[in-house]
Amino acid sequence: MIWKRSAVLRFYSLCGLLLQGSQGQFPLTQNVTVVEGGTANLTCRVDQNDNTSLQWSNPAQQTLYFDDKKALRDNRIELIRASWHELSISVSDVSLSDEGQYTCSLFTMPVKTSKAFLTVLGVPEKPQISGFTSPVMEGEMMQLTCKTSGSKPAADIKWFKNEKEIKDVKYLKEEDANRKTFTVSSTLDFQVDRNDDGVKVICRVEHESLNSTPQVAMQVLEIHYTPSVKITPSIPIPHEGQSIILTCESKGKPLPEPVLWTKDGGELPDPDRMVVNGRDLNIIFLNKTDNGTYRCEATNSIGQSSAEYVLIVHDVPNTLLPTTTIPSLTTATVTTTVAITSSTTTSATTISLRDPNSMPGQTGPDHALIGGIVAVVVFVTLCSIFLLGRYLARHKGTYLTNEAKGAEDAPDADTAIINAEGSQVNAEEKKEYFI
């Protein structure tokens, strides 16, 4: 009885050791995510293993590998590492049908298992933009649709216009039950204007399978609109004698035809001075008759537009003369010659004013002052000549005679001479004074 009791104790002790050892053996796995067409690596590890076998099986519970022995004939499945502590395999060219739960089994008593879920991402196809018909007229409504298929899970679509995201869009998602993928579409509605011409509208598809490199589709808008016209002058304030160029700046799509220039509602009055060269109107030798309203018209297949410019020609600005010291009268040489005769009065006046600092051929700046001085001198000279002439005319032929005293009582001339004071020798001669 003692022996039997001892044998039973030994058996229970051995079972306890086996149970304790088996509790320390447990397979460890991790979930795996892979892009469709890529390679998935499945790894099963055991920290404590007393030569117990490991096995990988697929979601259909088909054995893929038992230790280092391949059980399923699938060329895509290969062994990476096989030992008592690890069993790693790879599945290449993964398809969406490979997605599911894979099982690693440790053949202990009882068998222990660990699950690893393989997620296969469906890559979205390159998006396509539809709905654009070129050209679009300004003011019309435009509807653009961006569509992509094959994404799993469903992809996200964003719209951008001039690199600025547009939030107000419509989003539609449809699932393909056979492939378990999604077709996603997004619609953008907006009213176009001339500023949208040449703008890039971008549809961007974002998905976790794209590794932060989104797929994009781009549409360049073509908008037709009526011309816009502006007139730019070459000089801000035109003066008489100058030339001016009026440039007609016109923008439109299609490109406007050659512009038409008019003045005050009619044709240009002077084509010899008003020359049209393309979009430029060149007016040379401006004068006051050029004042008026000039109109530039631009036309394309969409419509017509015009702009006006009011031309006002200003007087030539006066140039201020430099201040000059008035020359003294001593610097001028005045020569006056007066000749008087008994029968006629002739006057000749020669006046010479000369600035010693002036250059030959150079006109002095104070012409008005010098002219005034000359006029005064001439006037005074003429007045003097006139007064002298009148005085001489009134006393013409007048003279004084001094006769000897005592001649009045003599009966004849001889007696008068004899009776005169003093001798004949001392007698005073009759004198005439003629001025």
Give the β-pairing of 112-121 and 100-106. antiparallel
Coil/strand/helix, residue 251: strand
Buried b (16+ CB within 10 A) or exposed e, 226-236: bbebebeeeee
H and E: helices and strands count for the chain: 3, 27
Residue 211 has a pLDDT of 83
Give the β-pairing of 223-233 and 136-137. parallel
Residue 24 has a pLDDT of 58
Q: What is the DSSP string of 368-396?
A: HHHHHHHHHHHHHHHHHHHHHHHHHHHTT
Residue 184, CA atoms < 13 Å, CB-side half-sphere: 24
Contact criterion met (CB below 8 Å) for 227 and 304: yes
CB-based contacts of 385: which residues, under 8 Å, 6+ apart? 338, 345, 347
Contact criterion met (CB below 8 Å) for 252 and 227: yes
Sheet hosting strand 128-130, strand order edge to edge: 128-130, 141-151, 181-191, 170-176
Cβ-based burial of 311 (10 A; exposed 0-12, middle 13-18, buried ≥19): middle
CB neighbours of residue 413 within 10 Å: 9
CB < 8 Å & 24+ apart, contacts of 322-330: 322/365, 324/364, 324/365, 324/366, 326/366, 326/369, 327/355, 327/366, 327/370, 329/373
- Distance (Å, whole) CA 428 – CA 424: 9
Structural tokens at position 268: 């240009």
Residue of 176, 182, 178, 186 lying closest to 149 (CA atoms):
182
Residue 329 has a pLDDT of 37
| CA gyration radius, the chain | 64
What is the 8-class DSSP label of residue 93?
S
Residue 268 has a pLDDT of 93
Report whether the peptide linkage leading into residue 124 is cis, meaning its omega lies within 30 degrees of zero: no
- Distance (Å, whole) CA 243 – CA 235: 9
Give the number of residues written for the chain: 435
Q: What is the sign, positive or negative, of the torsion defined by CA atoms of 67, 68, 71, 74?
A: positive
Q: What is the DSSP string of 287-320?
A: -GGG-EEEEEEEE-SS-EEEEEEEE-PBPPPPPP
pLDDT by 10-residue block (mean), the chain, 435 residues: 39 40 75 96 90 93 94 94 94 95 94 96 95 91 95 95 91 89 95 93 94 91 94 95 94 90 93 92 95 95 94 82 41 32 33 38 59 87 86 62 52 57 46 47
CB neighbours of residue 269 within 10 Å: 12
- Distance (Å, whole) CA 229 – CA 236: 19
Alpha carbon 103 to its chain's center: 67
Residue 66 has a pLDDT of 95
Residue 406 has a pLDDT of 52
Alpha carbon 163 to its chain's center: 20
Residue 409 has a pLDDT of 58
Residue 94 has a pLDDT of 96
